Amino acid sequence: MRWKIFGAWLAVAGVVALGTSCSAAPPAAEQKPAASRLDDVVQRGELRVCSTGDYRPFTYRDTSGAWSGIDIDLAHDMAAKLGVRATIVPTTWKTLVDDFNAKCDIAVGGVSITLERAKEAFFSTAYVVDGKTPITRCENASRFQTLQQVDQPGVRAIVNPGGTNEQFAEQHLKQATIVEHPDNNTIFQQIMDGRADLMITDAAETKWQAKQHPELCSVHPDQPFTFSEKAYLLPKGDVVFQQWVNQWLNLALHDGTYARIAQPWIG
């Protein structure tokens, strides 16, 4: 008798537990997937793009406020593929992540993938491999082949504050003098005018600047001091939007879109 009573109690308990578990979560058909920024962009009819405008060949904003650059043109292509307009939102390297999270759907313009930024946002697939290397007046190129040669008393290394260039200089230059210059669009003129000896920045930027200014030389840009990659900054946790951007970028890199847009800048 005891076993029959105990068995009946177990059956009742099982039914109660089953009912409780069933009521705890709605059927799968009633659960709605999390909204993606992709849907927001399409509904809004606008892709909001954060960019610094001071890092050619990727992004540039001239004195009239007009934007240009490889990533600016690619952002407009991305918006066109979504059937929306692209609105470029100015930011700075120092405020890039905060501005992106507050104002933008994507950030472009030679953005380096870093672990610190990855804490705050997603990245797209990398589309450029790069690294830090010096740019200096050509007569001084042989003086700055190694970090040991750069990090000497009396050497003036100029940096734009707030980004990976400043982080690299603070980490590696202990004896050289670090000179801050807030405008990355005019920073290379400081080297040409003799107000600084060199700048350590991304190899892609050094090659472009040396092409524009024959008196400047990029120091071993194909063998930089570091390894880094460039990608687009995307909303943290939004896999749907990330996957769409990755597929758009994959197509652009293989169907001639990227080559066509980049050719006027880097040949």
Domain with residue 118: its CATH number is 3.40.190.10
In contact, 138 and 197? CB cutoff 8 Å: no
Band of pLDDT at residue 18, cut at 50, 70 and 90: very low
For residue 190, give both structure tokens. Answer: 């400081």
Report the percentage of the chain scoring pLDDT > 90.
84
Domain match, 104 and 154 both:
no
Domain match, 117 and 154 both:
no
Domain match, 63 and 194 both:
no
Question: For all residues of the chain together, what is the average pLDDT?
Answer: 90
Pairing of the two strands 156-159 and 177-180: parallel
- Structurally, how many domains does the chain consist of? 2
DSSP lists the bridge partners of residue 122 as 234
Q: What is the reported pLDDT for 29?
A: 52
CA–CA gap between residue 146 and residue 105 (Å, rounded): 39
Confirm whether 3 is domain-assigned.
no
Confirm whether 255 is domain-assigned.
yes
Domain match, 119 and 176 both:
no
Domain match, 239 and 203 both:
no
Domain match, 246 and 168 both:
no
Domain match, 124 and 146 both:
no
Band of pLDDT at residue 267, cut at 50, 70 and 90: confident
Q: What is the reported pLDDT for 35?
A: 87
Domain match, 41 and 125 both:
yes
Domain match, 80 and 190 both:
no
Confirm whether 71 is domain-assigned.
yes
Q: What is the reported pLDDT for 31?
A: 57
Q: What is the reported pLDDT for 266?
A: 82
Q: Which domain holds residue 151?
A: 132-218
- Identify the H or E element spanning 216: strand 216-218
Domain match, 125 and 140 both:
no
Domain match, 157 and 210 both:
yes
- 59-68: average pLDDT: 96
Confirm whether 121 is domain-assigned.
yes
